[in-house]
Structure 1
Amino acid sequence: MMPKEMRLEEISIDVLPGVGEQRKKELEGLGIHSIADLLSYYPYRYEDYRLTDLAEAQHEERVTVQGRVFTQPSMRWFGKNKSRMHIKLDVDGVFISVIWFNQAYLKKMIQPGKTILVSGKWDRHRLQITADRTVISEEEQKKLVGRLEPVYSVTNGIKMSWLRKLVYQAFVDYGKHIPENLPEELLQRYKLLPRAKAMYYLHFPKGQRESYQARRRIAYEELFLYECKLMWLKRMHRTETEGIVHTFDQQKVDQFIAGLAFPLTGAQQRVVSEILQDMKQPVQMNRLVQGDVGSGKTVVAAIALYANYLSGYQGALMVPTEILADQHTESLRKLLSPYDVRVICLTGKMTAKERREALAEIEMGLADIVVGTHALIQEPVVFRRLGLVITDEQHRFGVKQRAALREKGISPDVLFMTATPIPRTLAITVFGEMDVSTIDEMPAGRQPVDTYWVKKEVWPRIIKFIEKECQKGRQAYVICPLIEESEKLDLQNAQEVYEQLTVELAPIRVGLLHGRMNSVEKEEVMNAFSANEVQVLISTTVVEVGVNVPNATVMVIYDADRFGLAQLHQLRGRVGRGGGAATCILVADPKSESGVERMRIMTETTDGFEISKRDLELRGPGDFLGVKQSGLPDFKVADLNEDGRILEVARQDAARIVLQKDFPQNEDYRVLYEWLQKEKLESLNFD
């Protein structure tokens, strides 16, 4: 008998009968090392052996029937090994046809008068089942009829029937030792099954009701416990991380805002208020600001940096590219120079002398705001008094890079910004220990970009359209997925398009920009495009984020089906920034359903949050964020696409319980508190 204090995670799988050395290795290949692993190795679907009422069955629906064989099996052969067997089956007085393909061995077993169980696709018009599962044994039929039988992912020579028996045996031997891990109040409030019963029903449900209740319980458990981890991180951050208490003249901040060339949107005002309130607290700010392309995150960052300056601290803004660093530096100088704020830029392209001078200014505190790429986190950079760190397009930096910038000061406030809208379910799962602010309103006058999807055959008409727009004084981007011609991929390449349009659009000036150019070459091209000395820019996705040329009104994306939705939306956001009408043309002949769907979504909506939601549905959470860097937990049952409402509730419950002052001492939550103490929170992959 197992001692009460022994944990199922510590009991090796080979204690079960029939699990020798070889079987143990095979199970470990499936990630099953302990009894706990086996009990939580849930089926991914069920074989439904509940008998179907054929009168109500839909055409091509999967059905299960039990009936008496009425005719001798008739066989037809196609070639040497392919066959078709046919019988008539009496199902409650109704005669239907059953056919089997390539299962000639069944002929001797299926004889008139014998009762068999058959599952397969129902042809309502022909009153016919194409069988893919047949049970001949009456004893086996008695066991199966009316049941949902689990189907597991099996490899390494493990048979499904053996694994089912092993799981059942594990429940017989150890099921009563499965500990409850949710507070009683939550079980009562949501009428959740006890954990042991829910786990059993996930493997062996009596019907759909038990399966639904079990899934609901375990999905909530997974999401709640994960959110508890995040709330525990937030609690530790609040209680253990002392922050800078920024003291600044609110009237001066208000005057700065009033002096802007445009009024803040309601969403910008709300987010600014949240950030400034954080900065006044004695706890280090840890906030994510997300907003759609063009929603005005830069000015929000400028207000935060100005308040930080008024408090007597330096600010740092880290961006992923040198082009973006230059543009942010220019934007911040325009906004802040009238207020005697010195903004400098630190990138890898600087000369040794420029770099020495910049580093000296930073160390002496003469530079109030420093904008830069990853050059900011290199060892020689020493801040005199760093008070605010902003990371723009934070998903492009790794955890260690973001942490390295934060460590340049003593508990500076931290603000992450992204123009890649993240669906709420992902935001509160991946960034759940942060406070999340959302700019969900576009500035007045910003018109939606008209978006069209066309086939490649109309390319000559697109060139004519670009020519007309340039003759009106406007500018255009043409984005290609490759730099040079590739033998492997039949995709339009930037070099080829550049050479073609240079000739066809003459005397209109055409420029070329791609990632293999050095920083000086890139800067020359972008400066020429920004100054309208180049009217058409042929580029790869290096312009995806942050590039701001208000005069550009046309975005053409060649082989658009090769890009993801988020990338397409970011590229589209490069035009229409001057307030006038703009056009995005997606040139593609998709070969897949997902490619067609992406083109359709892009023409239906310009709402980045709606696009991110659809992108999540198409790709799943791991691919949406990048599997390796996402920090997503490996939920066995919960699905972030399907269980958004459960996640919201679980998060609210976790915050209410874990953030309450007496949580560690509250006896009602003792099990949860002890579990949090044992968990390795660093496995969450957050900095």
Structure 2
Amino acid sequence: MNSILQSPVSDLRGVGEEKQRELEQLGIATINDLLHHFPYRYENHEVVPIEELKHQEKVTITGEVQSEPSVRFFGKKKSRMTVRILIDHLLVTAVFFNRAFLKKQIEVGKQVTITGKWDKHRLTISVQDFRAGAPDPAKQLEPIYSVAGSLTVKQMQRIQAEAVKHVYQIVPENLPGEIRERYRLPGKPETFQALHQPRSREELKHARRRYVYEELLFFQLKMQMFKRMERQSASAQPFVYDAEATAAFEKQLPFPLTNAQKRVVREILEDIEAPIRMNRLLQGDVGSGKTVVASIAMQAVFTGKAQSALMVPTEILAEQHYESLEELFAGTEVTVGLLTGSMRQKEKRNVYERITDGTIDIIIGTHALIQEPVQFNNLKLVITDEQHRFGVGQRRILKEKGEDPDVLFMTATPIPRTLAISVYGDMDVSVIDEMPPGRKPIETYWAKPQMLERVLRFVQKEIDQGRQAYVICPLIEESEALDVQNAIDVHAQLMQFFPGYRVGLMHGRLPAEEKEDVMQRFAAHELDILVSTTVVEVGVNVQNATMMVIYDAERFGLSQLHQLRGRVGRGEHQSYCVLLADPKSETGQERMSIMQETEDGFVLSEKDLELRGPGDFFGKKQSGLPEFKIADVVHDFKALETARDDAAKLIRSEVFWKDEKYLGLREYLEEAGAFQKDKLD
């Protein structure tokens, strides 16, 4: 990169030691950093005809001064100056507070341009910005920057103008000419100038379009490179499995596959057979049949004389998967094993031996699967359920138990296409977007807090019929900051409301063994009601649970509410979800209405993304979401898809790796570490 761009910001006129320190607080050390500190919005100083001005809005007007300024002083340093201005045949009063020094710049008969708050009824404007003369076309859109310390927006504007003036022309171009021509994108220097000093909305629109595409293309190039390296593993060989035996296994399943399940099975089996390493995300709503799809993949691997491993986050989930797979493989030669941390040493040693000698074909377990004693005979397929619950390191250790095994990540969290492309862009994505027939829809109701007693009577009615209920709260303990129901208080209240009934409590601060124990007791129907925080969101399958009551439901996102609702409706009985909420905001009301309208997790996830934005969708701890300077994966979704397709074509083409015109893109991949295989998991 040009050495001037890497110069310290102190090289610019007007940037002394204090300003330099304040800029460093914003992560700005070099002139290049400064150029990449873009405005977060633009103040509109475009002049609008007076009849189109909106009451109490900030506007810009221009007209001829009709009267001498009149100034009144009050207090020690306070003043109020008024002046009459003729605008489009209307006399308007401009009011200046504490700016009497401008009096000398205002002359009768001369044109002035004013920005301020418009009062339509009084025909007055409270002046915020003043300029003698006609509007400056180059300053119709004022860039507004984030600042730190005592640094003001005006000072930042001056510093940026200085930087742009001196260096924008030497900013290196990194997009090949053919791409710029294809999409009619401006050059890199012009893009920087327009983003910092737009002369028109049209110019700003094209500059933004250029920068968004570039950000997304670079990100997708990195993703597609990781994908290529994952798939083209050196030791990957074609895998031969018995397609007829797998088709026969599919036919003897207790229920026919849906069309979506058939499509996904085909995608996975093609990957297993191919001389590439599968790296696939399988998305499917709760109850959509992901486990059945996984069982067919594992059966295919068995026919090719290899092993499969399924890693899940909790022991109870491991046991449930074990029981359901034992049932599916009953009457076949497939041997299913279970490995969890709480098993006795003797049991564990026996399982270790059978994994090593290959007499266990499919092993289901918790993170116990990645312990050192576990040595596989011939591991071909690794499946992780609710993969976001495992750390990158844990998933990698399991992969390393075999020689570049195929990897299938399963999740019941519906991820919008936008985020699937962004966060999981290095994977192939399969979606089961169809539910098996015969499932009863969960009846969802929105109840105000004052209806709580009626809701609890309804819960009692279900329990008296032998059913069970979940009651979910947002917090563990009472908080002064948030007036929301907490799990410990609600548990105490329900113990009083339901004397003689068995009410359990579970939350994230309990030790793992206690959580497992409470969940086991609920699953075994030793508890009638389980009061919990969102730790029950993923996992356990209690077919007898028919009631889900969610306190302060407006505090949850749509996707989380949907996940919680999915804990019920798993058995033959009609199930219900009651959202206890008194949302004051339109967004909260909209969420409650949407929850009553649809059970489609993908529809809900898209709506959730629109309402909350990508940053909140996964919660604050999500690290996989890329951070862009200007691009927004929701707003710029079409550009994201275009960039992904372009990146995939470039990475696949031989010309990309040889032609000089793509050198800038290849250098970016090198700098981004895309050639390091373990950079991204």
Normalising by structure 2, we get a TM-score of 0.91
Q: Which residue of 2 aligns with 1:405?
A: 398
Give me the whole-angstrom Cα distance separating, in 1, the residues matched to 2:402 and 2:501: 50
Q: Residue 45 of structure 1 aligns to which amino acid in structure 2?
A: R
> Is the 2:50–2:87 Cα contact (8 Å) retained in structure 1?
no
SS of 1:315 mapped into structure 2: strand
242 and 74 in structure 1: CA distance in 2 versus 1, 3 angstrom threshold:
farther
> Is the 2:609–2:617 Cα contact (8 Å) retained in structure 1?
yes
Give me the whole-angstrom Cα distance separating, in 2, the residues matched to 1:592 and 1:477: 26
186 and 500 in structure 1: CA distance in 2 versus 1, 3 angstrom threshold:
same
61 and 489 in structure 1: CA distance in 2 versus 1, 3 angstrom threshold:
closer
> Is the 1:244–1:279 Cα contact (8 Å) retained in structure 2?
no
Q: CA deviation at 1:51?
A: 1.4
Is 2:440 the counterpart of 1:447? yes
Give me the whole-angstrom Cα distance separating, in 2, the residues matched to 1:600 and 1:362: 50
Is 2:213 the counterpart of 1:220? yes
628 and 242 in structure 1: CA distance in 2 versus 1, 3 angstrom threshold:
farther
Q: CA deviation at 1:107?
A: 7.6
Q: CA deviation at 1:71?
A: 4.9
Give me the whole-angstrom Cα distance separating, in 1, the residues matched to 2:3 and 2:678: 23
25 and 80 in structure 1: CA distance in 2 versus 1, 3 angstrom threshold:
closer
Give me the whole-angstrom Cα distance separating, in 2, the residues matched to 1:81 and 1:575: 68
> Is the 2:231–2:276 Cα contact (8 Å) retained in structure 1?
yes
Choose from 126, 131, 135 the match for 2:130: 135
Q: Which residue of 1 aligns with 2:680?
A: 686
Cα-Cα RMSD = 3.0
Give me the whole-angstrom Cα distance separating, in 1, the residues matched to 2:509 and 2:34: 50
* Per-residue Cα deviation, 1:384-438 (whole angstroms, up to 9, x for no partner): 2211111111112222222121112110111111111111111111111111111
Give me the whole-angstrom Cα distance separating, in 1, the residues matched to 2:158 and 2:480: 53
SS of 1:116 mapped into structure 2: strand
13 and 277 in structure 1: CA distance in 2 versus 1, 3 angstrom threshold:
same
Is 2:98 the counterpart of 1:103? yes
Q: Residue 638 of structure 2 aligns to which amino acid in structure 1?
A: R
173 and 518 in structure 1: CA distance in 2 versus 1, 3 angstrom threshold:
closer
Give me the whole-angstrom Cα distance separating, in 1, the residues matched to 2:22 and 2:14: 13
Is 2:90 the counterpart of 1:94? yes
Q: Residue 465 of structure 2 aligns to which amino acid in structure 1?
A: K
Q: Which residue of 2 aligns with 1:186?
A: 179
Choose from 29, 34, 41 the match for 1:45: 41
> Is the 2:186–2:210 Cα contact (8 Å) retained in structure 1?
yes
> Is the 1:445–1:579 Cα contact (8 Å) retained in structure 2?
no
After TM superposition, the structure 1 stretch with the greater mean CA deviation from structure 2, 220-229 or 552-561, is: 552-561
Q: Which residue of 1 aligns with 2:2?
A: 6
> Is the 1:88–1:97 Cα contact (8 Å) retained in structure 2?
yes
Unaligned runs of at least 5 residues, structure 1: none
Choose from 367, 373, 390 the match for 2:366: 373
Q: Residue 631 of structure 1 aligns to which amino acid in structure 2?
A: G
Q: CA deviation at 1:349?
A: 2.1
466 and 121 in structure 1: CA distance in 2 versus 1, 3 angstrom threshold:
same
Give me the whole-angstrom Cα distance separating, in 1, the residues matched to 2:372 and 2:182: 53
Q: Residue 275 of structure 1 aligns to which amino acid in structure 2?
A: I
Is 2:30 the counterpart of 1:34? yes
Q: Which residue of 1 aligns with 2:145?
A: 152
Q: Which residue of 2 aligns with 1:121?
A: 117
SS of 1:338 mapped into structure 2: coil
Alignment of 1:397-546 (within 5 A): 397-483=390-476, 489-505=482-498, 508-517=501-510, 522-523=515-516, 525-546=518-539
* Per-residue Cα deviation, 1:534-564 (whole angstroms, up to 9, x for no partner): 4333333232112212232211112223333
Is 2:581 the counterpart of 1:609? no
Choose from 154, 176, 199 the match for 1:206: 199
Give me the whole-angstrom Cα distance separating, in 2, the residues matched to 1:296 and 1:80: 77
Alignment of 1:660-679 (within 5 A): 660-679=653-672
Is 2:164 the counterpart of 1:168? no
> Is the 1:398–1:629 Cα contact (8 Å) retained in structure 2?
no
81 and 330 in structure 1: CA distance in 2 versus 1, 3 angstrom threshold:
farther
Q: CA deviation at 1:652?
A: 0.9
* Per-residue Cα deviation, 1:587-621 (whole angstroms, up to 9, x for no partner): 12346555444334323332211222222233332
> Is the 1:241–1:284 Cα contact (8 Å) retained in structure 2?
no
Give me the whole-angstrom Cα distance separating, in 1, the residues matched to 2:652 and 2:5: 28
Give me the whole-angstrom Cα distance separating, in 1, the residues matched to 2:252 and 2:504: 37
Q: Which residue of 1 aligns with 2:633?
A: 640
Alignment of 1:276-291 (within 5 A): 276-291=269-284
Alignment of 1:332-411 (within 5 A): 332-411=325-404
> Is the 2:278–2:407 Cα contact (8 Å) retained in structure 1?
yes
Choose from 240, 263, 269 the match for 1:247: 240
Give me the whole-angstrom Cα distance separating, in 2, the residues matched to 1:519 and 1:27: 46
Alignment of 1:569-648 (within 5 A): 569-578=562-571, 580-590=573-583, 594-648=587-641
Q: CA deviation at 1:201?
A: 0.8
Give me the whole-angstrom Cα distance separating, in 1, the residues matched to 2:573 and 2:468: 13
Give me the whole-angstrom Cα distance separating, in 1, the residues matched to 2:259 and 2:329: 22
* Per-residue Cα deviation, 1:461-493 (whole angstroms, up to 9, x for no partner): 011111222333433222233445566654434
After TM superposition, the structure 1 stretch with the greater mean CA deviation from structure 2, 642-651 or 462-471, is: 462-471
> Is the 2:233–2:277 Cα contact (8 Å) retained in structure 1?
no
Choose from 59, 63, 76 the match for 2:59: 63
> Is the 1:86–1:98 Cα contact (8 Å) retained in structure 2?
yes
Q: CA deviation at 1:78?
A: 9.9
* Per-residue Cα deviation, 1:616-646 (whole angstroms, up to 9, x for no partner): 2333323323455423332111111210011
> Is the 2:258–2:435 Cα contact (8 Å) retained in structure 1?
yes
Normalising by structure 1, we get a TM-score of 0.91
Give me the whole-angstrom Cα distance separating, in 2, the residues matched to 1:318 and 1:76: 78
407 and 165 in structure 1: CA distance in 2 versus 1, 3 angstrom threshold:
same
> Is the 2:77–2:98 Cα contact (8 Å) retained in structure 1?
no
> Is the 1:243–1:285 Cα contact (8 Å) retained in structure 2?
no
494 and 631 in structure 1: CA distance in 2 versus 1, 3 angstrom threshold:
closer
Q: CA deviation at 1:666?
A: 3.3
> Is the 1:315–1:386 Cα contact (8 Å) retained in structure 2?
yes
Q: Residue 88 of structure 2 aligns to which amino acid in structure 1?
A: D
Give me the whole-angstrom Cα distance separating, in 2, the residues matched to 1:444 and 1:85: 75
SS of 2:375 mapped into structure 1: coil
Choose from 242, 260, 263 the match for 1:267: 260
82 and 451 in structure 1: CA distance in 2 versus 1, 3 angstrom threshold:
farther
SS of 2:20 mapped into structure 1: helix
Give me the whole-angstrom Cα distance separating, in 2, the residues matched to 1:217 and 1:11: 25
Unaligned runs of at least 5 residues, structure 2: none
SS of 2:309 mapped into structure 1: strand
Give me the whole-angstrom Cα distance separating, in 2, the residues matched to 1:292 and 1:319: 17
SS of 1:371 mapped into structure 2: strand
After TM superposition, the structure 1 stretch with the greater mean CA deviation from structure 2, 201-210 or 122-131, is: 122-131
How many residues are paired up? 679
Q: CA deviation at 1:279?
A: 0.6
662 and 187 in structure 1: CA distance in 2 versus 1, 3 angstrom threshold:
closer
> Is the 1:633–1:684 Cα contact (8 Å) retained in structure 2?
no
SS of 2:92 mapped into structure 1: strand
> Is the 2:379–2:403 Cα contact (8 Å) retained in structure 1?
yes
174 and 260 in structure 1: CA distance in 2 versus 1, 3 angstrom threshold:
same
Give me the whole-angstrom Cα distance separating, in 1, the residues matched to 2:438 and 2:132: 74
Give me the whole-angstrom Cα distance separating, in 1, the residues matched to 2:144 and 2:488: 52
> Is the 1:244–1:387 Cα contact (8 Å) retained in structure 2?
no
SS of 2:342 mapped into structure 1: coil
> Is the 2:473–2:533 Cα contact (8 Å) retained in structure 1?
yes
618 and 443 in structure 1: CA distance in 2 versus 1, 3 angstrom threshold:
same
Q: Which residue of 2 aligns with 1:658?
A: 651
